[in-house]
Amino acid sequence: MVYILLVFGIVVGIYAVLNNIGGVFSSFSVNDPTLMVAKLLQSLLPVIAGVVILYVSASNLYQLIKKSGNK
C-alpha cells in the first residue's frame, strides 16, 4: 500500500511540474513588471511544490526499496 502512495506522489509531482512550467516561461513575455512578477509567482510556487513532492516521494520509495532489498 505504501508503494502505491509513493508512486502516486511521484505522479502528482510530475503532473504539478509539467502543468505549471509553461506559465513560468510565458510570464517573461508580459510587459508590465508587476504583472510579470505576479504571473511568475503564480506558476512558480506550484512548480516548487511539485518538485518537493517529487523529491520526497522518490527518496522515500528508494529508501523503502533499498531497505527491503537488504533483508
Quick check: helix, strand or coil at residue 32? coil
Q: What is the pTM of this model?
A: 0.84
Task: Report how many domains make up the chain.
Answer: 1
Q: What is the pLDDT along the chain (71 residues), one digit of tens a residue?
A: 889 999 999 999 999 999 999 988 888 888 999 999 999 999 999 999 999 999 999 999 999 999 987 76
Q: Using CA atoms in the order 6, 9, 11, 13, what is the torsion angle rounded to 10 degrees?
A: -140
> Is there a contact between 17 and 54 (Cβ–Cβ < 8 Å)?
yes
- Structural domain that includes position 26: 2-70
